[in-house]
Amino acid sequence: MSTGRGPSRNSERIVLGNRPLRNYLLDVVLALNRGVDNVEILGKGRHISRAVALYNLLHGRLGDSLHLDKVEIGSVHEKGRRISYIRIVVSRRII
């Protein structure tokens, strides 16, 4: 799922679905280990709470080496409905 459009946009997006949180936790850790600049965690609708829970799991595992770059909230139109979302961008900090 890496976008890999050169060094200026070395980011990876993880979209939360119905898999257990541990799976997404692994996805994020592996992406950070691959050296991406940042990972974007996207949660829509009822997955918003899970996205925040995932961030806290990550923070618990990685501690201060995890940096919270940005939290964005908003809504998008999908299939004629307005759906809330949260976008949490994290990166690994050298400590």
By CB under 8 A, name the binding residues for a copy of itself.
45-49, 52-53, 55-56, 59-60, 68, 71-75, 82, 84-86, 88
The set of long-range contacts for 61-68, using a CB threshold of 8 Å and a minimum separation of 24, is 61/25, 61/29, 62/29, 62/32, 62/92, 64/93, 64/95, 65/92, 65/93, 65/94, 65/95, 66/90, 66/91, 66/92, 66/93, 67/91, 67/92, 67/93
Name the minimum Å distance from CB 95 to a copy of itself: 19
Name the minimum Å distance from CB 19 to a copy of itself: 18
Closest CB to a copy of itself among residues 10, 91: 91
Name the minimum Å distance from CB 6 to a copy of itself: 29
Closest CB to a copy of itself among residues 4, 17: 17
